[in-house]
Amino acid sequence: MLKWLEEHMGTCAFKAHTGMDCPGCGMQRSLFELLKGNIWESIQYYPGLLPMMFTLFFLGLHLIFKFKHGADILKFSFIFTVTVILINYIIKIATHYQFSFS
C-alpha cells in the first residue's frame, strides 16, 4: 500500500509549470517518511509537517472537547507552523534554486 502510494505521488502543479518549488513541496515525501517511522528524515524533508499535524490533531480534539484555552493554543501553534514553513521555504529557495531564467 505504502509502496504503491509512493510510486503514485501527486505532482505539484506549481512546480510542473514554473520549475520552482512551492511552499508545500516536500510535504508528501515527508509524510511518507513519517509513515515509515523515520521522523528525522521527515523533518529534514519538510520541517513544517509535524507542527501542522499537531495543529490539525489539536483542532479535531478542540472541536470535540472544547478546551478552555484551545483557541489560543491553536492560534499560536498555527502561527508557529506558518513561520516554520516560511523560513524553510525561504532557505530552500535561497540555497537549492538557481535563478537560471532572467
Partner 1 sequence: MNQENTNQGFEFDPKENKSQAESAKGTTGGTEQQSTGYQGQTNKPEIDPGKNKMQQPLPNSGGILAMGILSIALFCCCYGGVSLVLGIIALVMSSKANRVYLEDPDMYTEGSYKNMKAGRVTAIIGLVLAGIMVIVGIVAIASGLNILSTQEALHEFEQVWESTGY
Site string for partner 1, 12-51 (x = CB under 8 A): xxx--xxxx-xxxx-x------------------------
- Report the residue number, 19 or 87, with the smaller CB distance to partner 1: 19
> Sign of the C-alpha dihedral, residues 3, 8, 12, 18?
positive
Contact between 82 and partner 1 per CB under 8 A: yes
15 contact partners, CB below 8 Å, separation of at least 6: 21, 22, 25
In the complex, minimum distance from the CB of residue 76 to partner 1, in angstroms, rounded to a whole number: 9
Contact between 3 and partner 1 per CB under 8 A: no
51 contact partners, CB below 8 Å, separation of at least 6: 77, 80, 81, 84
Contact between 85 and partner 1 per CB under 8 A: yes
Question: Could you give the count of Cα atoms lying within 13 Å of 36 in the half-sphere of its Cβ?
Answer: 15
In the complex, minimum distance from the CB of residue 87 to partner 1, in angstroms, rounded to a whole number: 13
